[in-house]
A and B are shown apart, each in its own frame.
Chain A
Amino acid sequence: MLKINKAKWLELFAALSAQGTLYVPANVDDKVDFTIWQNATEVDLQATQTAKSIKNIFFPQVENLLDFKTDGLKLSVEQRMLPEEATIAFGVRGCDVRSFEVLDKVFLKDPVDTFYKARRENCTIVSLACSAPDETCFCGTFAIDATNPGGDVTTWLVGDELFWQANTDKGSQLTEKVKTLLVEGDAAEVAAQQKATKEIMAKMPLADFKIAAKIPAEQEKVFNSTVWQQLSGTCLSCCACTYVCPTCHCYDVRDFEVDNKVERFRCWDSCMCKDFTKMAAVNPRVSRLERFRQRYMHKLVYFPENNEGTFACVGCGRCLQKCPVNLNIVKVAKALEVAKDV
């Protein structure tokens, strides 16, 4: 186990950023979000959660895929180059680390999404263990160990010391580059913090929250349950939950016309939107109930069915914090658990 004192973090960030574009959690506009590190960036390693997930590092909210150009009667198609930039995602919490595995199951499955794959391969993930979980956290529901979050390198913040441990070859290579800044640390200090954190986690209101086994098992009953009527009644059909969610991955592909050129881009989309999937004709889910149900069915039933039981939720709690009317996956799963018709 290695470590680095707070006094040297600036040097560490500078050294890391020399290896690639460095994303860090930092104070941006009165909230903590991942941002590209520069010398004056106020890195925040205390915040439990960034406002948005870091999925956009691999799956940007908007990206151009193709250009069509016309020159007289000649039409040319230019494919955008695959991203080659090396990146380092620093300070990623356990829930978000797990979310990459969920996204991999979508984008790396045949047909492979080459843009996603390139970005994923070019990135080294330096995770940060949680030591002060929030009441909205429920990563334990999905057997995620927030005190040992994984990734290529794991770090633990204990007082003013940042403990550092490489987990993969990629992680070891990165460690080599910053080795001169790191000193030997005592693993016992990390173990003590992990124990303390787990004790705090046990006190949290969602500590015992589990997704009832019958939910993914009883697809038809869940789908037809009368619970959706009550649950979806006050959903606004906005996309706040989708866009802050680390595992939501739907996108739309559209064309943008500029002069003699058409740019084909893709952008995040949400099954909560009325105009979802209209590129293929219509949105088959005409009512709010159907759209609401789809998002939760996908996360709790369809996704696990197609991916060896993995839920498309990592318990980060962002939807609990950001929904304008406080509807969220916990509320849905709890209502389904006690529903008489499921």
Chain B
Amino acid sequence: MQKIAELIKKEAESLLKEKKVTAVLAWQPGEFYYDNSPAYFTSLEQLDKLVYNEFCPANLSKYLMTGSKKKETMAIFAKPCDTYGINQLIKDHRVKRELITVIGIPCSGMIDIKKIKAQGVKGIISVAVEGEKVIVKTAYGEKTFNKTDILLAKCMSCKGSDYMIADKELGEKMEVKCQKLDPLAGVTKLEAMTSKERFAFWQEELSKCIRCNACRDICPACSCEQCIFDNQEAAVAGKASANTAEEQMFHIIRAYHVAGRCVGCGECARVCPQGIQLGLLNTKFSKDISMFYGKYQPGADTDSKAPLVDYKFDDVEPTISAKGGR
């Protein structure tokens, strides 16, 4: 990844030097090596702070909206999974294709710091990634992990190394080396439940919600200028996590709204401070949409018609969906 980081810096330098774009979207380091932040780079002096390593999970695509709104050109360094979000934003008319430059960057999977911490690791002083080994030095000692054991859940069901959109690709494509997780495993388990069990599952899961809106705010499909849940006039605007009904309203409405547009980037579940399995709802919708209307992957392109906005005479009858898609 170090080599890729150098290539990114060089590319960012030439983009800014030649004034091809007004800002470059990438990552900058934090306090502890594992806490990189997304960042806009607008001048050459800032570039020594640009970083790319196994701790850059954030999908930067939504930040492109700011540039498109101001009619400014922007370049984005995008991992293969991030490119789906970019396409979806273009399709939703939130990002203007002609204003953005997409540079594809290879990724071999991002590390989940929470998985490291779950092993009782604390007081981290440094993290070093050497090939497939991750060496974590702490104030209490040293611990070595296999990268495959501490990958982010979203990377364990990686959609592959191809870019759905890219004006240029840097370096050679990489693969995520791990025992792949079936992205539908969670949904299959839910479908096997009785409706009562499923209701109990969601009540428990969603009652953890503290209504921080992080899932909504990071989601590339949640691109409304004004969210209905921020609208005082709307009866659903509850900020309170008053009872489970309140949170179900928020999460279920959100899931319906992004149905057919959710690219499956997994960011909602990653950013949830309460660890709610948010992606499950969206995955279920995606699965059903593909079953009813033929295989469809949101964000795979910018011009195909999305099934939910494209009426066909032989569209599936509502009676089928009433059976829960089974």
Which residues from chain A sit less than 8 Å from chain B, CB to CB?
Answer: 29-31, 48, 51-52, 61-62, 132-136, 200, 203-206, 230, 233-234, 236-240, 242-244, 252, 254, 256, 265, 267-269, 273-275, 278-279, 320, 322, 324-327, 330-331
Contact = CB atoms under 8 A, between A and B. Distances in A.
Given A61-B240, A134-B122, A326-B36, A200 B31 contact: no
A268 B211 CA distance: 10
Contact of A326 (B37, B212, B238): B37
B273 interface: yes
A267 B209 CA distance: 14
B35 A203 contact: no
A267 B31 contact: no
Nearest to A200: B139
B241 A205 contact: no
20 contacts: A29-B208, A29-B274, A62-B241, A135-B32, A135-B125, A200-B140, A205-B32, A206-B31, A234-B40, A236-B214, A236-B217, A238-B217, A243-B212, A244-B210, A265-B240, A267-B239, A267-B242, A273-B239, A324-B218, A325-B38
B40 to A, nearest CB: 5
B39 interface: yes
B232 A132 contact: no
Contacts of B125: 135, 203-205
Nearest first, the 10 A-B pairs at minimum CB distance are: A324-B271, A267-B240, A236-B217, A238-B214, A326-B35, A234-B38, A240-B212, A238-B217, A322-B273, A62-B240
A276 B258 CA distance: 25
Nearest to B42: A230
B231 interface: yes
Interface centre among B238, B241, B274 (most CB of A within 10 A): B274
A61 B212 contact: no
Contacts of A243: 210-212, 273
Contacts of B124: 135
Interface string B215-254: 0111000000010001110000111111000000000000
B239 A133 contact: no
B160 interface: no
Given A29-B208, A52-B210, A205-B32, 12 more contacts: A134-B123, A136-B32, A234-B37, A234-B40, A234-B63, A238-B213, A238-B216, A265-B242, A267-B241, A320-B35, A326-B36, A331-B37
Given A31-B275, A265-B240, A330-B31, A236 B123 contact: no
A135 B231 contact: no
B239 A252 contact: yes
A275 B218 contact: no
A233 B63 CA distance: 9
B208 A204 contact: no
A133 B123 contact: yes
A239 B211 contact: yes
Nearest to B210: A243
A61 B138 CA distance: 35
A325 B242 contact: no
B210 to A, nearest CB: 5
A48 B123 CA distance: 10
A256 B237 CA distance: 11
Contacts of B32: 135-136, 205
A8 B270 CA distance: 39
Nearest to A233: B40
Contacts of B123: 132-135, 200, 203-204
Given A135-B32, A238-B212, A240-B214, A230 B38 contact: no
B76 interface: no
B58 interface: yes
Contact of B140 (A132, A240, A265, A326): A132
B30 interface: yes
Contacts of B216: 238
Interface string B37-72: 111100000000000000000100001001000000
A180 B36 CA distance: 52
Interface in B264-321: 267, 270-271, 273-275
Interface string B185-217: 000000000000000000000001011111011
A269 B123 CA distance: 32
Nearest to A136: B32
Contact of B239 (A132, A244, A269, A322): A269
Given A29-B208, A274-B230, A331 B30 contact: yes
A136 B124 CA distance: 9
A233 B66 CA distance: 9
Nearest to B124: A135
A27 B277 CA distance: 18
Contacts of A204: 123, 125, 139
Contacts of A330: 31
Contacts of A244: 210, 273
A171 B212 CA distance: 36
Contacts of A133: 122-123, 139
Contacts of A326: 30, 35-37
Contacts of A273: 213, 230, 239
Contacts of A268: 239
Contacts of A278: 232
A291 to B, nearest CB: 12
A157 to B, nearest CB: 15
A113 B210 CA distance: 23
Contacts of A234: 37-40, 63
A19 to B, nearest CB: 28
B122 to A, nearest CB: 4
Given A238-B212, A275-B230, A325 B122 contact: no
Contacts of A320: 31, 35
Contacts of A254: 238-240
A135 B35 CA distance: 12
A50 to B, nearest CB: 12
